[in-house]
Amino acid sequence: MTQNIALVTGASRGIGAAIAEQLALRGWHVVAVARTVGGLEELDDRVKSAHLPGAGSLTLAPMDITKDDAMRHLCRSIHDRWGHLDLWVHAAIHAAPLAPAGSMDAKDWDKSIATNTRATGALIPMVEPLLRAAPQGTALFLDDPKGGAKFHAAYGATKAAQIALARSWAAENAKHGPRVIIVEPAPMPTATRARFHPGEDRSTLADPRTEAARILDEL
């Protein structure tokens, strides 16, 4: 049986790491992309330490998704090794510090655009041929609607633009694929949420692994 292949961008922490872990434990081979080498290594350790029969494996790819040449080379490598992608999970995000729109830091604004919006627009054409080569290639985007919320100007605007790209892609490929799915995960105790909701009671939030399992089951 041919092994399922997944690409997870933003796989070192939060829901991206949880989905990558769940996929590997379910027998997939996961190409895990993130800038944080330590986070990727911890992900690999968790999968290996589970000692589950039939578990899959990981290819760790420490790189910046805003670097077009690096991502293009990665996609070419995936094509040369496996010939397709069954699933792309796009969880990479830059969460700029909370600030009024009139006081946004220019560097945070530029980084938000580069990571949340521009990289998504660059990656879709790179990944689409790999997904089309699979029997039912699927792209999964994770929505976090903060557009228009006070103090979330940089994050909210660029995340909304990312999801708008995904919605257009989904509509364009509704008949012939790849399948493009957008889900809104339940609130989780991630580093991003801690930045946006300091002092929140995190005991009431969903566990990322449980939420990752729910999302994958619904796929």
Cis peptide bond prior to 178, omega within 30° of 0: yes
The pLDDT value given to residue 2: 78
Give long-range contacts, CB 8 A cutoff, 24+ apart: 204-208. Answer: 208/14, 208/15, 208/17, 208/18
Question: What is the arithmetic mean of pLDDT over 40-51?
Answer: 95
Q: What is the mean pLDDT of the chain?
A: 95
Mean pLDDT lowest for which of 12-21, 112-121, 136-145, 195-204?
195-204
Q: What are phi and psi of 89, to 5 degrees?
A: -110, 115
Mean pLDDT lowest for which of 24-38, 123-137, 171-185, 197-211?
197-211
- CB count, 10 Å around CB of 173? 17
The pLDDT value given to residue 132: 97
- CB count, 10 Å around CB of 132? 14
Per-residue H/E/C for the chain: CCCCEEEEECCCCHHHHHHHHHHHHCCCEEEEEECCHHHHHHHHHHHHHHCCCCCCEEEEEECCCCCHHHHHHHHHHHHHHHCCCCEEEECCCCCCCCECHHHCCHHHHHHHHHHHHHHHHHHHHHHHHHHHCCCCCEEEEECCCCCCCCCEHHHHHHHHHHHHHHHHHHHHCCCCCCEEEEECCCCCCCHHHHHHCCCCCHHHCCCHHHHHHHHHHHC
Range of the domain at 47: 5-218
Question: What is the arithmetic mean of pLDDT over 206-216?
Answer: 95
Residue pair 92/14 in contact (Cβ under 8 Å)? The answer is: no
We report the CATH number of the domain holding residue 113 as: 3.40.50.720
pLDDT in tens, 118-175: 999 999 999 999 999 999 999 999 999 888 899 999 999 999 999 999 999 999 999 9
Please give the tally of structural domains in the chain. 1
Mean pLDDT lowest for which of 35-39, 53-57, 117-121?
53-57
Rg (CA), the chain: 17
Cα 184 from Cα 160, distance rounded (Å): 12
- Per-residue confidence at 194, pLDDT binned at 50, 70, 90? confident
Cα 116 from Cα 109, distance rounded (Å): 10
Question: What is the arithmetic mean of pLDDT over 186-208?
Answer: 86
The pLDDT value given to residue 36: 94
pTM > 0.85: yes or no: yes
Residue with tokens 């039912």: 136
